[in-house]
Amino acid sequence: MGGRHLKDSIVTETATRIFTDLADPQTINRAKDATWKTELWSKLSDAGLPLAWVSEHLGGAGAEASDGFELARIAGQFASPIPLSETLLAGWLLAQADLNCPSGRMSVAPCRPADHVGLSANGKLVGRARRVPFARDSAHLAVLIESAGGLRVALVKTSDCVLSDGRSLAGDAVNDVTFDNVAPVAIKSASAALDRSKLMMMGAVVRAVETAAALQVILQLSTQYAQERVAFGKPIGKFQAVQHNLAKLAGEASAALTASGSAAEAMAGIGADPARFDEGIYLEAASARIRCAEAATEGAAIAHQVFGAIGFTKEHILHRYTMRLLSWRDDFGNESQWALELGTRIAARGADELWPFMASR
């Protein structure tokens, strides 16, 4: 991703070290409580990582756009149940209105294309955002508002909103958020280039990057297990049916990695600047979202076939990855919504423009 080697980035090295030390999936799978999350978040915050996409004058780290996508990759690699990616996106949204960012965990709303949050006559937020990831675990929400005066971005306290109880397939908090005349902590007009679709694009690419990283891990886990598990006197990886499934899983993981990497590189190349989003960027984001969601569905099924019943048990880490893979498919628009919109846009260009458009990427 990006125009430089992210493996040599101090951001990447720092995040990887923190997650390795404090969020190893096997270690936290055995944890008796969730106190480890507090230390993990504290270390990430001390390094300035959750606000990587926020400039220093607004309270962030001022890192490159590519670094933010790399942080999402690392979060996916560790299947970490904390709102790192959500805080990254919230910071990015607040920065589009030049709003100062608070420290602490954040999430972003809306994260469903059809949801709407408006502004009442007295300047308070009204509306509902469905299934907001980690809303209950976040101190603040960054909210995109559609009003008669144009788009605005607001920072609100989560405690001022009405939240439903809800959990994702992976057991992470996911809540409907009702804004019943909620007074914002701060609110400003959004940049002229920002719109709902661009927020969805950023979220879609982040989820695609996380998905691809998680798929790489379950491929590694499945391959290793197939080499170790013995049945009928030989490793199950020697059976043709298992080899076929592992080859399919490798193909899905590779496709997701390629699609998400291309989309993240395109976003990073323009600095994730909404003013520079064009149809080519949309093609990258939509393609990555669709392909990675498909890979998540196929990859999770294959991995559980390889592992059998053990992969579903609480004691094994596989479910930490597969359940999040399946949960991420619906955030920021599901694959059907993206496919419909992408098809509509391509059809509107006409048959003669299809190949030149595709080849331009």
Rounded to whole angstroms, how far apart are CA atoms 93 and 202?
10
| Higher pLDDT, residue 8 or 189 | 189
pLDDT given for residue 352 in this prediction: 87
Pull the structure tokens for residue 295. 């890979």
Residue 105 phi, psi dihedral angles, 5° rounding: -75, 140
pLDDT given for residue 5 in this prediction: 38
**Is pLDDT above 90 for 32?**
no
Residue 218: other Cβ atoms inside 10 A = 28
Rounded to whole angstroms, how far apart are CA atoms 110 and 145?
9
Give yes or no for a cis peptide into 110 (omega within 30° of 0).
Answer: yes
pLDDT given for residue 3 in this prediction: 36
**Is pLDDT above 70 for 279?**
yes
Core vs surface per residue 79-91: b (16+ CB within 10 A) or e = bbbbbbbbbbbbb
User: What mean pLDDT comes out for the span 216-242?
Assistant: 96
Confidence of residue 353 (pLDDT cuts 50, 70, 90): confident
Selection from 147, 115, 155, 151 nearest residue 131 by Cα = 115
State the burial class of residue 186 (Cβ atoms within 10 Å of its Cβ: 0-12, 13-18, 19+): middle
**Is pLDDT above 90 for 135?**
yes
Tell me if 221 sits within 8 A of 318, measured CB to CB. yes
Tell me if 97 sits within 8 A of 142, measured CB to CB. no
Pull the structure tokens for residue 56. 């220093």
Core vs surface per residue 144-161: b (16+ CB within 10 A) or e = bbbbeeebbbbbbebebb
Rounded to whole angstroms, how far apart are CA atoms 253 and 29?
24
For 172-227, how does the pLDDT look when each residue is reduced to its tens digit (9 = 90+)?
999 999 999 999 999 999 999 999 999 999 999 999 999 999 999 999 999 999 99
Q: Which residues contact 265 (CB under 8 A, 6 or more apart)?
A: 1, 2, 66
Strand partners for 125: 119, 182
**Helix, strand, coil: what percent of the chain each, to 5?**
55, 15, 30
Report which residue type is found at 74: I
CA distances from 197 to 4, 241, 279 (A): 28, 42, 12
Go through the domains of the chain in sequence order and give each one's CATH number: 1-80 (no CATH), 104-192 (2.40.110.10), 196-359 (1.20.140.10)
For 118-132, how does the pLDDT look when each residue is reduced to its tens digit (9 = 90+)?
999 999 999 999 999
Please name the residue that has the structure tokens 């096997």: 26
Pull the structure tokens for residue 88. 């990254």
Number of helical H runs and strand E runs in the chain: 11, 10
For 46-94, how does the pLDDT look when each residue is reduced to its tens digit (9 = 90+)?
999 999 999 999 999 999 999 999 999 999 999 989 999 999 999 999 9
* 186-189 and 150-157 strand pairing: antiparallel
**Is pLDDT above 70 for 7?**
no
pLDDT given for residue 53 in this prediction: 96
Angle of helix 351-359 relative to helix 279-307, nearest 10 degrees, comes to 70
**Is pLDDT above 80 for 360?**
no
pLDDT given for residue 172 in this prediction: 95
For 310-350, how does the pLDDT look when each residue is reduced to its tens digit (9 = 90+)?
988 888 999 999 999 999 999 999 999 999 999 999 999 89
CA distances from 247 to 2, 205, 325 (A): 29, 25, 19
